[in-house]
Amino acid sequence: MTSPINIIINRGSGKDDNADEIKTELIKLFNEHNLNAEVSIAESGEDILRLVETALKSDAEIIVAGGGDGTISAVAGKIFKTNKTLGILPLGTLNNFSKDLKIPQNLPEAVSVIAENYTTKIDAAEVNGQIFINNSSIGLYPHIVKSREKQQEQLGRGKWSAAFWAALKILRRHPFLKVRLKIENGELPARTPFVFVGNNEYEMNFFNIGRRERLNDGKLSVYFLRKSGRRGLLALVLRLIFGRLRQAKDFEAINVKEITIETRRKQMLVAFDGEVKMMETPLCYCIHPLALRVIVPKEFQTEE
């Protein structure tokens, strides 16, 4: 690799504001691999998008996203279906996307993976023009996220404490959505508190939520929660918050290439890759097979 590698770090990712120290360390690590790394620190979401646009116009063949899933998703949404390759530095809190790709979670090893430059193509998903790499959802979860963030900022509560009280607050209101799920071979009317759309199939059983064995199957994995009373729904939401959902008991699940979610509401709060956004309805989801080239450990490469 002779062209420079563009690296974009999100200052807001992770627990500590140590982006400047990470930048210095990254330049040193890439120099050890005889690679020219151009490291930029993004101060905001808008800054991330601006830096990606600049990188797309450069000679760099690799654009590296350093941050959590939201940062990586923002960069991926700009470079998918281009001739650029996505590199990943897991600098966030959960780093689910990098874990699904089996990318090491410590910085020196993650840099080594980028230096080796083994690549594969994976799917990207979309809802109403918004690209996401992990999952999207409507219903209780986006509202809980919004309420949790407000409690963390205004009341200084920790993440899990804020999530618990946010769940209680949301459940005091009418918690069910009336939606119509339109798929390739028909329609599914549903009264549900929650619809989850994954980019490929998630494991949601045996007390495990969030892992994917494949990201190139070309399918959306759609889960919606079965109707329950308020007490049962509270127990279900707590299992959701703490990652203890059981697929057989809690979910209806379908795998599709496209799905449209219709509702009487003109707008809905939609979560995707840790972010939340108000969107116009209907919500049109689709999959883009093999649209994103990413750098992965050697044992997971599919391209020479």
Q: What are 30-79's pLDDT values in tens digits?
A: 999 999 999 999 999 999 999 999 999 999 999 999 999 999 999 999 99
Quote the number of domains for the chain.
2
**Pair (79, 227) in one structural domain:** no
| Residue 99 in domain | yes
Q: Note the pLDDT of residue 89.
A: 98
Q: Note the pLDDT of residue 274.
A: 82
Q: Give the mean model confidence (pLDDT) for residues 257-261.
A: 97
| Residue 127 in domain | no
Q: Note the pLDDT of residue 252.
A: 81
Q: Give the mean model confidence (pLDDT) for residues 197-213.
A: 74
Residue 39: what are its φ and ψ, rounded to 5°? -105, 125
DSSP string, 197-259: EEESPPB-STT--SB-S-S-S--EEEEEEPP--HHHHHHHHHHHHTT---HHHHEEEEEESEE
Q: Note the pLDDT of residue 140.
A: 74
Q: Note the pLDDT of residue 282.
A: 98
| Residue 125 in domain | no
**Pair (110, 164) in one structural domain:** no
**Pair (180, 53) in one structural domain:** no
The residue out of 90, 116, 142 marking a domain boundary is 116
Q: Note the pLDDT of residue 20.
A: 93
**Pair (267, 138) in one structural domain:** yes
Q: Could you tell me which residue, 129 or 171, shows the higher pLDDT?
A: 129
Average pLDDT over all residues of the chain: 84
Q: Could you tell me which residue, 164 or 298, shows the higher pLDDT?
A: 298
**Pair (92, 176) in one structural domain:** no
**Pair (112, 159) in one structural domain:** no
Q: Give the mean model confidence (pLDDT) for residues 174-199.
A: 85
**Whole-prediction pTM value?**
0.84
Give the residue carrying structure tokens 């409690």.
Answer: 151
Write the CATH number for 111: 3.40.50.10330
Q: Could you tell me which residue, 58 or 237, shows the higher pLDDT?
A: 58
Write the CATH number for 200: 2.60.200.40
Confidence grade of residue 93 (pLDDT, cut at 50, 70, 90): confident
| Residue 54 in domain | yes
Confidence grade of residue 203 (pLDDT, cut at 50, 70, 90): confident
Q: Give the mean model confidence (pLDDT) for residues 129-135.
A: 96
Alpha carbon 227 to its chain centroid, in Å, reads 26
Q: Note the pLDDT of residue 153.
A: 45
| Residue 231 in domain | yes
**Pair (158, 197) in one structural domain:** yes
**Pair (112, 136) in one structural domain:** no
**Pair (13, 162) in one structural domain:** no
Domain interval for residue 44: 5-116
Q: Could you tell me which residue, 229 or 131, shows the higher pLDDT?
A: 131
CB 235 within 8 A of CB 171: no
pLDDT value at 141 more than 70: no
**Pair (82, 211) in one structural domain:** no
Element (H, E) at 40: strand 37-42
Cβ neighbours around 208 below 10 Å, total: 14
Q: Could you tell me which residue, 4 or 244, shows the higher pLDDT?
A: 4
Confidence grade of residue 128 (pLDDT, cut at 50, 70, 90): very high
The residue out of 82, 116, 150 marking a domain boundary is 116
Kindly report the length of the chain. Answer: 304
**Pair (262, 158) in one structural domain:** yes
CA-CA distance, 283 to 137, in Å (whole number)?
11
